[in-house]
Amino acid sequence: MNHPQPPFRTSQQKQEDRAAKRHAVLRAAVQMFNERGFHATSLDDVAAALGISKPTIYHYLGNKDQVLLECVTIGLQQLLEAAAAAREQPGSGADRLRSFLRRYGEVTMDDFGRCIVRTSEEALSPESVRRFRALKREIDDAMRSLIEEGIADGSVSPCDPKLLAFTLAGALNWPARWHDPSGPQSAQEIASCLVSILSSGFTPRKDA
């Protein structure tokens, strides 16, 4: 027997509705920031694309700086979650590092990850810059930790973890500027290929 829907939305439904609308605003904003640049995009542009008013954006997210900070924070949190997930993977340190790097590459080719790479600190307020830098340091520390674990178990060649982390991040950040989502290769395929190429340089060679 079908039960009639209650005439009023529950508190949970209202929260889910608000979260969905907030995410829609963020997704529209980040796509415009990536395509046009932060300074060339106004909240009026974002509002017009969604068919809403600019005060609605202020209601859900705040001013333009806060919108940008939220966009890059989503991308940075995705990278932190990827590092945490990699730490739980079985296998060697190199296996866990590869797992993280593949996800890292995928994130930086998605809208919010792409925004991290394309956003300069000059676009953010001083307070937002501090938050931006702190999250980036967490990701850098997580990558170095995975590298160090691989060196310790012999699955990653002895090296300077800091320089290797910079090299890997630099290589995996760059597709954020050239990857075409409508191209023949998916982000997953590109990330996997890049990690395969990069890993041949950081895993020990087997004796013939």
pLDDT digits (tens, 9 = 90+) for 74-96: 999 999 999 999 999 999 999 99
Cα–Cα nearest to 128, from 74, 173, 70, 77: 70
Per-residue confidence at 208, pLDDT binned at 50, 70, 90?
A: very low
Report the distance separating Cα 17 and Cα 7, nearest Å: 16
Cα–Cα nearest to 190, from 169, 167, 172: 172
Report the distance separating Cα 140 and Cα 103, nearest Å: 15
Query: Where would I find the H helices in the chain?
Result: 11-36, 43-50, 54-60, 64-87, 93-108, 111-118, 126-153, 161-173, 175-178, 187-202
Report the distance separating Cα 183 and Cα 131, nearest Å: 34
Question: Can you read off the two tokens belonging to residue 197?
Answer: 């190429």
pLDDT score for 172 = 95
Question: Cα 159 to chain center, whole Å?
Answer: 27
Report the distance separating Cα 138 and Cα 120, nearest Å: 18
pLDDT score for 56 = 85
> Stretch 48-68: mean pLDDT, rounded?
87
Whether the predicted pLDDT of 184 surpasses 80: yes
pLDDT score for 170 = 94
Q: What is the mean pLDDT of the chain?
A: 89
Whether the predicted pLDDT of 207 surpasses 60: no
pLDDT in tens, 18-36: 778 888 889 999 999 999 9
Per-residue confidence at 204, pLDDT binned at 50, 70, 90?
A: low
pLDDT in tens, 143-158: 999 999 999 999 999 9
Question: Can you read off the two tokens belonging to residue 78?
Answer: 């995705």
- Selected from 3.40.50.2300, 2.40.50.140, 1.10.357.10, 3.40.50.720, the CATH number assigned to the domain covering 64-202 reads 1.10.357.10
pLDDT score for 1 = 53
- Long-range contacts, 119-122 (Cβ 8 Å, 24+): 119/33, 119/38, 119/68, 119/72
pLDDT score for 205 = 65
